[in-house]
Copies of this chain bind each other. A is one copy, B any other.
Amino acid sequence: MNCCAQVGAEAGGSAPFLTDHTTLIDSVETFIFDCDGVIWKGDSLIDGVPETLDMLRSMEEIFASSFAAAAYLKSMKFPTDKKVYIIGEAGIQLELKQAGINYIGGPEDGDKRIDLTPGQLMEHDHDVGAVVVGFDRYLNYYKLQYATLCIRENPGCMFIATNCDAVIHLTDAQEWAGGGSMVGAIKGSTKKEPLVVGKPSTFMMDCLASEFNIKTSQICMVGDRLDTDILFGQNGGCATLLVLSGVTTLETLQSSENKIQPDFYTNKISDLLAAKKVTTNA
């Protein structure tokens, strides 16, 4: 049983509504947030998110679950003379930059096309030691071939996937092909399996626990999906908080068919702002 489960959790039955925000925050050293359904929904930021993240950032470490690639590369001491080739968007660039890891590709290669001429050879950088693949709406054949060459021809080059999600909620209106599509493309051309550092792998929790010298039970995973986010947190030995601002309804959570119970649930992460009021009033 982790620390958070001791804060007001009922024995058996479904997860309790979070009431004691301050005790939860005090018992946690690091929050990991899923983004889709927690920070934003479709293309809209969820109500109260900026203030909540500001408040938590002043008290704890906070991470997006999508930042797992940088966390992993940092923890395995990715050599400073090596580079990452990115299939992905600005978020992966940002996380690698913040971790001090060299990278190429990503948005820079979004407009490149291959118009083949006889005998054409694509040169590639032999210092690429890892290809990181995440969701990329500007995927093209140039990127596929570049990543394929690095993985097939650079000795020891790693193939890292930030997630293998089939679909993503890019807009409220429908589901869109997700990171699993980009990862699948590179699996198909290399016949290699990626190291999946994001959900459902628990690399990230282990990396954070090691980096901050804390227990995984002092990490709280916050997400909107029972079978991915909450299970991911539980598999990593973390406390778990379900928010109802995404795909899971209270009815689903409390259904007798649901076997995955978080330590707590709340409506949206800005409910945590209540902790600030208590702290301020105290």
Are A172 and B119 also in contact (CB < 8 A) when A184-B186, A186-B184 are? Answer: yes
Contacts of A44 in B (CB 8 A): 118
Are A177 and B141 also in contact (CB < 8 A) when A184-B187, A186-B184, A189-B184 are? Answer: yes
A140 an interface residue at 8 Å Cβ cutoff?
A: yes
CB distance from A62 to the nearest CB of B (A): 26
CB distance from A157 to the nearest CB of B (A): 15
Among A13-21, A162-170, A236-244, A254-262, the stretch that binds chain B is: A162-170
The residue of chain B having its C-beta at the shortest distance from the C-beta of A114 within the complex is: B137
A173 an interface residue at 8 Å Cβ cutoff?
A: yes
The residue of chain B having its C-beta at the shortest distance from the C-beta of A139 within the complex is: B141
A120 interface neighbour in B114, B152, B173, B190, Cβ under 8 Å: B173
A272 an interface residue at 8 Å Cβ cutoff?
A: no
CB distance from A1 to the nearest CB of B (A): 34
Tell me the count of chain A residues lying within 8 A, CB to CB, of chain B: 48
- Pair B177/A119 contact, Cβ less than 8 Å: no
A183 an interface residue at 8 Å Cβ cutoff?
A: yes
A144 an interface residue at 8 Å Cβ cutoff?
A: yes
Complex formed: what's the CA distance from A241 to B11 in Å?
A: 71
A164 interface neighbour in B43, B121, B183, B188, Cβ under 8 Å: B188
Those 7 A-B pairs whose CB atoms lie nearest each other, nearest first:
A184-B188, A180-B188, A177-B189, A121-B173, A184-B184, A181-B189, A185-B185
A-B contacts, 22 of them at CB < 8 A, read A43-B119, A113-B138, A114-B137, A116-B137, A117-B171, A119-B172, A120-B170, A120-B173, A122-B176, A139-B139, A139-B140, A139-B141, A140-B140, A145-B177, A149-B174, A152-B175, A166-B189, A166-B190, A177-B189, A184-B185, A184-B188, A187-B188
